[in-house]
Amino acid sequence: MTPAIFGLSGTVLTGDERAFFRDADPAGYILFARNCDNAAQMRALTDELRAIAGRANLLITVDQEGGRVARMKPPIWPKYPPQGVFDRLYDIAPISAIEAAQVNAEAIGLDLAEAGLNCDALPLLDVRCAGAHDVIGDRALGHDPMRVAALGRAVLEGLDAAGVAGIVKHIPGHGRACADSHKEMPVVTATEAELEQDIAPFHALRDAAMGMSAHVKYTAWDAENPATQSARIIGDIIRGRIGFDGLLMSDDIDMEALSGSIADRSVRALQAGCDLVLNCWAKMPDMIATVEACGEIAPDARRRLDAAMAGKDVGPFGGAERRAECIAKRDALLMAAGVEA
């Protein structure tokens, strides 16, 4: 098995993709809007991926947060609010906010389950900081670490109720960054004491099954390398101080925060301690080079992958009625508090 999560080029597999994926046996796949036409098409696509892999619980994920980050879009799928709406509800009614975040996540999870996906790149545990770049912005669950942790736990539980695994991101925290890591390398110069706020939600949810690293440099911990490629940050902070022992995947290895070839970036991430690398763009030369450079998945990474996906087999869908109930409950909780989605 290749320690990578790969993207696909379209709504159906090409012949080259089919042959390549059969030989490469990647750990999983990630879908984007280019792969999402409707639920039936997606279910056919994901069924084929599972058949190729021979695993009913094959990791197939998507970035479906709500708000401005949604790959499965209206009018085919419901419109979901940005995660920050639950932070605003929490100001008024904390218990209602936790319930609303949970049922919202369950509804999203049921959308994914109907389409044959069993993983969502959610929740963000990034603590929102004043003056930071808006790349996180209203995607965040709040400014207070324990509020972020409480709402993040609710999101994980909602996804799990739909049979979908969640991914906590972006470890050890992207909320303080003053640049967009899609475009350039953010450098965080906060002190170790200040960074305790950033890692607090991840510590609180350290039992999460999966996490995604941040392409961010933290000078207090490692002035030379971003977290994704820093053995010190992954070993001492993520695995050590935070205590996270779940599956750790990189953020998209193709993002402009990183430099070098895709294969070189991937090797550096794996050598630093990431279990899997995320390669989103379905560029065949990059995927081939990644397979050749990265070799076989490490035993500890395979253990964590198996644990994260245990019980996440994809079966027949019967959640349409429950999804409608979840959306109605979320809307009622928001309306009762006068919070606009």
* Residues β-bridged to residue 211: 168, 248
Is residue 212 within 8 Å of 179, Cβ to Cβ?
A: no
Report yes or no: 170 and 198 within 8 Å, Cβ to Cβ: no
Identify residue 330 by its one-letter amino acid code: R
Would you list the DSSP string of 112-168? Answer: HHHTT--EE---B-PPP-TTS-TTTGGGS--SSHHHHHHHHHHHHHHHHHTT-EE-E
Q: Copy the structure tokens of residue 76.
A: 């085919």
Q: How far apart are CA 11 and CA 159, in angstroms?
A: 24
Which residues are designated catalytic? 182, 251
* Residue 106: φ, ψ to 5°: -65, -40
Helix or strand (DSSP H, E) at 232: helix 231-232
Token pair belonging to 57 = 């619980």
Contact by Cβ (8 Å): 30, 277: no
Which run of H or E residues covers position 5?
strand 2-7
Which residue do the tokens 């369950």 mark? 106
- β-strand partners of 6: 29, 279
